Chain A
Amino acid sequence: MYYGHGLQMNIAALCSFPLQLHRGSIRLEGVVVVEMEGKETHGRHGSVGGASTSSSSSSTTKKQSKRPKYSRFSQQELPACKFIVTPAVVITTFVAIAIVFIPLGLASLFASDNVVEIVHRYDDLCLQGSSNAVQHIQSKNSNKTCAGKLTVSKEMKGPIFIYYQLDNFYQNHRRYVKSRSDKQLKYKADADDTGSCSPEANTDEGPIVPCGLVAWSLFNDTYKFAVQNKAVDVSKKNIAWESDRNHKFGSDVYPQNFQSGGLIGGANLETSKPLSEQEDLIVWMRTAALPTFRKLYGRIEGDLGVNDNLEVVVENNYNTYSFGGKKWLVLSTTSWIGGKNEFIGIAYLTIGGLCLFLAISFILIYVLRPRQLGDPSYLSWNKQSQVQ
């Protein structure tokens, strides 16, 4: 059969037997070419990939390919380092960490051990026998001077740093930290910027400079030292960070109306000295991170020999008794790592030792219970078939 419509032929069909029409004399033999248009004729209901392939259509799709432009990034084929945490990697890492950490730990510990520190708590000693500590400290007439004796256990090479240490004093409380005005401290013109400083913001005579609770609670105990009745010089210069001195506190800003209210929180400031020279204030204003902190009081330039008896005279002015705080006086030398802090050294040594121990145990386990990398028999579907 043939058709003159020019309809497209898609599929060649094979008839295995001759067609026989009852009525007729027509007998068709051979290959019958039947017009096929897929769903029209055979009513394909197949849902399994039944689209018939024909060479003509595939050639047309090749001409106008809709494939998106190839780029290694969009096809996720970038060259990559395949980092797999294999046993070799683990053991190497641990050994490397141990090799680096143990010497560092030893060095840090050594440096820390070289630092000599004298710690002397005095708030419980300096009450002059008074039973009511708060009353004693708040009264203007009581005798707040007390003397103490410190013995130097090891030779202390200068400069020797004098710190006061406080406990249970939360300088890191949010409202406390916010209660200051950095602008006011820096610029004379911003003396009125006391918005965040309440309740220590303004007086009837004008704004308080420096305003805020931080400045108001300035530490005011003093210490005097003598060795064998000879006074030791305590330098109070350069105890604050230079950046604070030069930048945060203005050299033309002078204290005004400071501690003039009814409640006195701490030390008073000399009105003739500009803020940038008030190093005690600068040190105090660098709020501490933890409730137990120490701040630099001063510096002894000379040395202290071993077994020297240091006589210290303390003016116990600061009221820590109302909130159960404690006070210490600390003398310390420094090393390249700073003050006495064994934590870094111990931490390094511990971690280094731990890594060494883990490396050894991994090596042992690897030897005793080896698992070959990439062994297909460990794949779960292979394991199941092995079990069966």
Chain B
Amino acid sequence: MIYVRESHAEKMGTITDVPYEILNVLEFNSTRKRQSVVCRYADGRLVLYCKGADTVIYERLAAESDELKKITREHLEQFGSAGLRTLCLAYKDLHPETYESWNEKFIQAKSSLRDREKKLDEVAELIEKDLILIGATAIEDKLQEGVPTCIETLARAGIKIWVLTGDKMETAINIAYACNLINNDMKQFIISSETDAIREVEEKGDQVEIARFMKEEVKGELKRCLEEAQHSLCTVSGPKLTLVIDGKCLMYALDPSLRVMLLNLSLNCSSVVCCRVSPLQKAQVTSLVKKGARKITLSIGDGANDVSMIQAAHIGVGISGLEGMQAVMASDFAIAQFRFLTDLLLVHGRLSYLRICKDVSTALSKKYPELYKEGIRNMFFKWRVVWTWAFFSVYQSLIFYHFVTISGTSGKNLSGRMFGLWDVSTMAFTCVVITVNLRLLLMCNSITRWHYISVGGSILAWFVFILIYSLLRENVYFVIYVLMGTFYFYLTIILVPIVALLGDFIYQGVERWFFPYDYQIVQEMHRNDPEDNSRAGLLEIGNRLTPQEERSYAIAQLPRELSKHTGFAFDSPGYESFFAAQLGVHAPQKAWDVARRASMRGKPKPSKKH
């Protein structure tokens, strides 16, 4: 029994608590995309209330009151383009007898041991038809904090980003605008199943005909878009491309005959938005890119409907949170918020790639996401690098051997006595130990005290070892003491490591000067930065603007034209700063938003056809 506080206009605004009895709850699931409840009024009337996505509700409406349907549809479109997430509500009166007979089937289905889900769906279908439309609702569902910045940063790092969502096309496009995946400078390819032609065919009701027609349509659209894309790519400064495709068309586009075209088109686009996709389609799209394009794919999601996608990708990331832990349990990496993805990829991902030692600090890794491209382009593990190392190691070994043996052919001190095998080899080995440790230091670009300790400690450990060992073993007995009593020893220790390292040193100096890597330039740019050890910096969203951005922001301050797509509902600083200003709080500018608004400047765009 639930109580609803109602205020009736007829009763002059008095407030009463009306009891309703809930008889059945038909729960939500992703296939049905709706949920219903059967309730009994205080006066015995039985009503079924249904709430769900507009497509599924509209399919089940009774064939009357077209006026309301039309108006509601218009309203839905308005809500969608304003970026709100919409639902439709409908109801139906039930006769007690129909209800009773249905209820029996429902109870049977609910308690069945096998295929319960399917049986419940079937039973729900029986009653959820001939509904009467009430209207629509819309909510504003804000994106998580830091999502747009994160996406923009990753795009700069050379990572292509696709959005796969179950929302409507308008909503999905708005999300993409909010994340700066799409802006008005880009050329958009839209493949939608909501065109008038398709709707006509659908109204006829012939399933076979619908399928055939849709396939033809999708094929034609793909071809056209692909041609345009290729043509656009030939021109040097063509706009970036975006593809928007919805679930129904995707179903036909993933067909083996059309898949290749879809892949080619989407790889040419810098961002892809798929709307109204089912969980299975998400996994299919991911596999398409993984196997067809042979790129490394990463899927990130937070709900149970993302699990198949997470598992289909190379790397699956789950966001733990309000939706529960299914995504987390199915994933390879789990993070708490979407924005932590920048840290995961740009800092930890890059470090794992480099694996030697830190060359650019973590803060700089995130400030210059383009450095990530060095990993994507596999610049550090090419054969050239291997051969360079091999060459220098051969050079060093020649130095070690020849310098020590050639200089060992005569007596070594005033006593005129000669060195033997073990003296020469101990001399050479000491040079090797010193050279190798110093070479390590040369390789590191930021040297902490632990580096000094380990390098100095290694060399010291060698000396301690040999001083002790040469007292214990007969063949090397007293060798190091004899050596250390000659001038020759010290002259050689200075000469040989320096000559051995000279090759590497010259190579590094020349390479860094004439052919620098990007990360080396970034190091130089920030070589005088004081050590910023504040942890806050690592997880900050980064609201500071570079001079470039400040300039473009100032330009963007000129009255901006209103595009239909503003991403307003999702994460708009205008929205935020408006309320912030009301409260007297300073809301800082966001870099991605400045860029977005700058891209919108002075370009009146017609509204997109749905």
Contact A379 B522 (CB under 8 A): yes
Chain A residues near B478 (CB, 8 Å)?
A: 241, 243-244, 247
Report the stretch among A220-228, A308-316, A321-329, A336-344 that lies at the interface: A336-344
A1, A177, A334, most chain B CB atoms within 10 A? A334
Q: Is A239 an interface residue (CB 8 A)?
A: yes
Also in contact, A25 and B8, with CB within 8 A (given A289-B419, A289-B420): yes
Within 8 A of B (CB), among A291-309: 292-296, 299
Inter-chain contacts of B304 with A (CB < 8 A): 39
Contact of B6 among A28, A44, A161 (CB under 8 A): A28
Flag whether B448 is at the interface (Cβ < 8 A).
yes
- Whether B132 and A22, one on each chain, are in contact in the complex, defined by CB atoms closer than 8 angstroms, is yes
Contacts of B75 in A (CB 8 A): 16-17
Residues of A within 8 A of B538 (CB): 75
| CB <8 Å contact, A85 and B87 | no
Contact with B along A337-364 (1 / 0, CB 8 A): 1111101100110010001001000100
Interface band, chain B: 35 or more
Docked-complex contact A26 and B8, CB < 8 angstroms: yes
User: What's the nearest-Cβ distance from chain B to residue A360, in Å?
Assistant: 14
Tell me the A188-241 residues at the B interface (CB within 8 Å): 238-241
In the assembled complex, the CB of A72 is this many whole angstroms from the nearest CB of chain B, namely 7
Interchain CB contact (< 8 A) of A5 among B2, B167, B278: B2
Contact A49 B138 (CB under 8 A): no
Are B135 and A19 in contact (CB-based, < 8 A)? yes
Does A141 count as interface, using CB distance less than 8 angstroms?
A: no
Any B CB within 8 A of the CB of A133: no
Contact residues of B between 21 and 44, Cβ < 8 Å to A: 27-28, 30, 33-35
Question: Once bound together, how far apart are the Cα atoms of A70 and B10, in whole Å?
Answer: 64
B445 on the A face (CB < 8 A): yes
Given A16-B79, A80-B451, A182-B475, 17 other A-B residues pairs in contact with their CB atoms under 8 A: A4-B2, A13-B140, A19-B89, A40-B27, A41-B35, A47-B299, A48-B163, A51-B321, A80-B446, A238-B415, A241-B482, A247-B477, A286-B420, A289-B421, A337-B488, A339-B411, A380-B370
* Smallest CB separation, A193 vs chain B (Å): 12
Q: Could you list which residues of chain B lie within 8 angstroms of chain A, going by C-beta atoms?
A: 2-10, 17, 27-28, 30, 33-35, 51-53, 65, 75, 79, 85, 87, 89, 91, 93, 132, 134-135, 137-145, 147, 150-151, 163-167, 175, 179, 236-237, 276-279, 282, 299-306, 309, 319, 321-323, 336-339, 358, 362, 368, 370, 373, 403, 405-421, 423-425, 441, 444-451, 474-475, 477-478, 481-482, 486-488, 491-492, 494-495, 498-499, 502, 505-506, 508-509, 512-513, 516, 518, 520-527, 531, 533, 535, 538
Interface centre among B405, B488, B521 (most CB of A within 10 A): B521
Is the CB of A20 closer than 8 A to any CB of chain B? Answer: yes
Return 12 A-B CB contacts under 8 Å, by A number. Answer: A11-B140, A13-B138, A42-B139, A42-B141, A45-B278, A46-B165, A163-B411, A337-B487, A340-B410, A341-B409, A365-B513, A374-B524
B521 touches A51 (CB 8 A): no
- A296→B579 CA distance, assembly (Å): 96
CA distance A23 to B94 in the complex (A): 13
A39 touches B303 (CB 8 A): yes
Name the segment of A86-94, A121-129, A261-269 touching the other chain.
A86-94
On chain A, the residues within 8 Å of B27 by CB distance are: 40
Chain A positions 81-102 with a Cβ under 8 Å from a chain B Cβ: 81-87, 89-90, 93, 97, 100-101
**Contact indicator B527/A49 (Cβ below 8 Å):** no
The one of A57, A287, A338 in contact with B420, judged by C-beta atoms closer than 8 angstroms, is: A287
Cβ A347 vs Cβ B418 within 8 A: no
- Closest Cβ–Cβ distance, residue A210 to chain B (whole Å): 13
Measured in the bound complex, the distance between the Cα atoms of B474 and A186 in whole Å is: 10
Chain B nearest CB, measured from A157 CB (Å): 12
Q: Within 8 Å of chain B (Cβ to Cβ): is A274? A: no
How many residues from A make CB contacts under 8 Å with B? Answer: 123
- The answer to whether A93 and B138 have CB atoms under 8 Å apart is no
A41 near B28 (CB under 8 angstroms)? yes
Query: Quick check: is A386 within 8 A (CB to CB) of the other chain?
Result: no
CA distance A3 to B423 in the complex (A): 92
Q: Are B446 and A43 in contact (CB under 8 A)?
A: no
What is the chain A residue whose CB lies nearest that of B301? A47
- Report A268-294 CB contacts with B as 1/0, cut-off 8 Å: 000000000000000100111110111
Q: Does A64 contact B (CB under 8 A)?
A: no
> What's the nearest-Cβ distance from chain A to residue B282, in Å?
7
Does residue A378 face the partner (Cβ distance < 8 Å to B)? yes
Select B417's contact among A32, A177, A296, A344, beta carbons within 8 Å. Answer: A296
For the complex, give the distance between the alpha carbons of A84 and B525 in Å.
Answer: 11
Q: Is the CB of B474 within 8 A of A248?
A: yes
Closest 10 CB pairs of A and B: A45-B166, A339-B410, A49-B338, A243-B478, A2-B5, A374-B524, A182-B474, A161-B416, A80-B446, A374-B525
- A1: chain B residues at CB < 8 Å are 4-6
Whether the pair B447, A14 counts as a contact (CB closer than 8 A) is: no
Known: A26-B6, A41-B35, A78-B448. A20 touches B135 (CB 8 A): yes
Interface SS of chain A: helix, strand, loop or mixed? loop
List of A residues within 8 angstroms of B150 by Cβ: 49
Known: A87-B509, A339-B410, A344-B491. A374 touches B165 (CB 8 A): no
CB distance from B468 to the nearest CB of A (A): 15
Which chain B residues border A177 with CB–CB below 8 Å?
Answer: 421
Cross-chain contact of A296 among B87, B416, B447, B523 (Cβ < 8 A): B416
Instruction: Determine which residue in A72, A78, A355, A378 has the highest number of CB atoms from chain B within 10 A of its CB, and name it.
Output: A78
> Within the complex, which residue of A32, A293, A344 is in contact with B418, where a contact is CB–CB below 8 Å?
A293
Interface of chain A residues 42 through 69 with chain B (CB within 8 A): 42-54, 57, 61
Which among B164, B237, B441 is the interface contact of A47 at CB below 8 angstroms?
B164
Is the beta-carbon distance between B407 and A11 smaller than 8 angstroms? no
Q: A376 contacts which of B278, B491, B521 (Cβ < 8 Å)?
A: B521
Interface-centre pick from A5, A172, A341, A375 (highest chain B CB count, 10 A): A341
> B175 touches which one: A14, A48, A343, A371 (CB < 8 A)?
A48
Instruction: Report B-chain residues with C-beta under 8 Å of the C-beta of A13.
Output: 137-140
Are B139 and A14 closer than 8 Å at their CB atoms? yes
Q: How far is the CA of A4 from the CA of B5 in the complex (A)?
A: 9
Known A45-B305, A87-B509, A239-B417; contact A52-B322, beta-carbon cutoff 8 A: yes
**Distance of A15 Cα from B482 Cα, bound (Å):** 94
Q: Is B506 within 8 A of A52, CB to CB? A: no
User: Is A34 an interface residue when CB atoms closer than 8 A count as contact?
Assistant: yes
Q: A276 → chain B, closest Cβ, in Å? A: 14
Determine whether the beta carbon of A378 is less than 8 Å from that of B175: no
